[in-house]
Structure 1
């Protein structure tokens, strides 16, 4: 009985932990004044960029292009020349996109590197954003089932409990999978929990399956779960994408600062695209987030060439993807207001950065279209 009592306290403890993490992240973003931090003449004093960060060796670290931008130091130096400070605001994976959307809405952040679906939700909710730079070519989403469950397809999960963190980028690929099989979300018992709580939920049998990103590979490696489907079995458009989004009013009012920010990300993309830096990219991506072998496996299983993985080009495929995201989300009632996908895209800054850095032709448009 004591054991059962302890288990009954676990969900409440997790809820409190997640709430505490959300409050901490909210405090961090609230402390960043964004473009509102201006002098008497209205000049910007701080540029704030938000993104997911992970605890690593006693501090919060940014992975991917965010980490490269910070490590290179170019962006901080260039902004300093204009008397502008640079702040990277860390956001926990437990709160992710929703908290970033709050930061955009409250004008406490100016840019954010985050997922497609949360950004579309923000725009549909009346927060104008612009994609100022694509950040790579997408990430796979996995559907896993708990150890011992005799399920090999989505249909086998009808009536079962599926962990799905609502409003996060991986919700959309799962919704598309459900629709493609002639099913609906109501055919399943959706449990809205974040990925950090999912392993324990699977092990305890609290949920039967889960929708995850590369952590699905990790759970399979540990024997906690088994992958029965991934976006590798689906059209390329189903992959989750992330971009560098800017607050529209900031981008329109400060194109010079936006250009500097975008150029920093294009520089970081070029560095990451170099095969000579591949091992370092994998190590840095893994910091605090995932074992290196899982990151390497996630990369290796993709048919995207290493250089093209980090391309910042505004390809026709990118436009098609956001039309698909916006249309599908509206049709399925995931958002209430139509989002103009074309209005999201603002490629002028990347085009200029490619000219300034002499990188025109460095990434292949055709390679992206083949994917």
Structure 2
């Protein structure tokens, strides 16, 4: 009996030593060879880029490429004409690691089981416009009843368009909606293929060419009628590559800071103009609006509230089939770390749920 117990003890000890040795010999998680970022727009220019977001500054200045050059990690940017829905498909197929997209498509993706983390805001309070041909008799949103109207369904402008219609006594069924992407909508409007269109800053160029008129704008109205965009990461990638995720967020926060400084306004618009949208269009989009309010990376009460409201509206309108929880979705520890490292904890003003400014405070305290 004693010999048996002694043998068992020696065996257990040997197994413990082997286990410890195996753990010690286990390889450290290797850094990724490439970081792939999907952007929910076709973009423009050479190389392809986009505007309206500090992310466009990151792209044009090659800040991510510079950040990861010494580590031997390649950065790839992929642009999607199909916008948010196409980005969701790429996330589902593990073709991208990070995604820049609007609030509604990211929520649709989450409702369909996509495992992501929302890291940082990168383009807040984007305006929405309604445009019509210059000779059209359409003068207001109410005039859209029974008209053929372009709406890019599934994008962050879709839900705002529905809310704009509702604020004017109309439902989506009261118009003859046509699902067109940005380029197709412009071609359709100038050729009288549609009577009007919902869209963003891209319509200023068409207006300035004398081919369209803006009959409605959300600017200066209820902040709830604006669109939000953020940078997300696949949860699987984040869990395996936390250090690299932190470095990406650091760069996006650096870009947000640069893009929030009024002294950089003209240069910012020139950078964004490389996407094919003229400087004049950016000047019109951001007229009488503080850069810091639009380019803040903060996940404050306003942002959280807007994402929750989008969930509620999307569910009510059956754009998603089940409730989506957002409270566990925002992963702000990377943002907080970046703000602290760059001395920006109190740089931006946080907004309350109604979109009104509140006293500046530590983001770390705000997130508790």
Name the TM tier (shorter chain). Answer: 0.7 to 0.9
- 1:76 aligns with one of 60, 65, 69: 65
Gaps of 5+ in 2: 1-26, 359-368
**Deviation sequence 1:9-65 (CA, Å, 0-9, x none):** xxxxxxxxxxxxxxxxxxxxxxxxxxxxxx996642221112235332x54234442
CA distance in 1 between counterparts of 2:71 and 2:50 reads 25
Instruction: Provide the residue aligned with 1:192 in structure 2.
Output: 179
Deviations 1:314-335 (A, max 9, x none): 1110110100111101111111
Query: Are residues 81 and 199 of structure 1, via their aligned partners in 2, closer, same or farther at CA, if it must alter by over 3 Å?
Result: closer
The equivalent position to 2:77 in structure 1, one of 51, 67, 88, is: 88
Using a 3 Å threshold, how does the CA distance of structure 1 residues 321 and 62 change in structure 2: closer, same or farther?
same
Q: 1:145 aligns with which of 125, 128, 132?
A: 132
Shift of 1:357: 1.1
Q: Distance in 2 between matches of 1:72 and 1:184?
A: 43
- How much does 1:342 deviate? 1.5
The structure with the largest alpha-carbon Rg is 2
Q: Does the aligned pair in 2 maintain the 1:315–1:369 contact within 8 Å?
A: no
Q: Where in structure 2 are the equivalents of 1:47-58 lying within 5 Å?
A: 47-51=35-39, 52=41, 54-56=43-45, 58=46
In structure 2, the partner of 1:26 is: none
The equivalent position to 2:237 in structure 1, one of 246, 250, 256, is 250
Hey, what does 1:299 align to over in structure 2?
Answer: 286
Tell me the distance in 1 between the aligned counterparts of 2:113 and 2:351. Answer: 35
Q: Hey, what does 1:271 align to over in structure 2?
A: 258
Q: 1:101 maps to which residue?
A: 88
User: TM-score, normalised to structure 1's length?
Assistant: 0.82
Distance 1:80 1:59 in 2: 19
* Deviation by residue 1:77-101 (Cα, 9 ceiling, x = unmatched): 443444432222233xx32212211
> Equivalent residue for 2:340?
355
The equivalent residue for 2:204 is 217
Aligned pair partner of 1:283 in 241, 261, 270: 270
Please report how far the alpha carbon of residue 281 of structure 1 lies from its aligned counterpart in structure 2 after TM superposition. Answer: 0.3
Aligned partners of 1:187, 1:290: CA distance in 2, in Å?
Answer: 32
Contact 2:37/2:99 (8 A) holds in 1: yes
Query: How far apart in 2 are the matches of 1:231 and 1:181?
Result: 13
Provide the rounded CA distance (Å) in 1 between the counterparts of 2:287 and 2:224.
19
| Counterpart selection for 1:44 from 15, 21, 32 | 32
Residues in 2 aligned to 1:244 and 1:232: alpha-carbon distance in whole angstroms:
24
* Residues 135 and 243, structure 1, Cα contact 8 Å, conserved in 2: yes
1:324 aligns with 2:309: yes
Distance 2:169 2:139 in 1: 17
Match of 1:315 among 279, 286, 300: 300
Higher deviation after alignment, 130-139 or 43-52: 43-52
TM (normalized to structure 2)? 0.82
Paired residues, number: 328
Say which SS state the counterpart of residue 328 (structure 2) adopts.
helix
Q: Deviations over 1:144-169 (max 9, x none)?
A: 12222222222222111001121122
Aligned pairs (5 A) from 1:142-181:
142-181=129-168
The aligned counterpart of 2:49 is 61
* Equivalent residue number for residue 340 of structure 1: 325
Are residues 338 and 83 of structure 1, via their aligned partners in 2, closer, same or farther at CA, if it must alter by over 3 Å? Answer: same
- Aligned counterparts of 1:84 and 1:163: Cα–Cα separation in 2: 41
1-structure distance, mates of 2:334, 2:356: 21
Label 1:45 to 1:211 Cα distance change in 2 as closer, same or farther (>3 A): same
Structure 1's 195 and 366: CA in aligned 2 closer, same or farther, altered over 3 A?
closer
Report deviation, 1:129.
Answer: 1.8
Moved more, 181-190 or 71-80: 71-80
User: CA 1:366 to 1:136, structure 2 compared with 1: closer, same or farther past 3 Å?
Assistant: same
Structure number with the higher helix fraction is 1
- Using the TM superposition, give the Cα deviation of residue 124 of structure 1 relative to its aligned residue in structure 2, in angstroms: 1.3
1:207 aligned onto 2:167: no
Look up the SS of the partner of 1:133 in the other structure.
Answer: strand
Aligned CA RMSD, in angstroms, stands at: 2.3
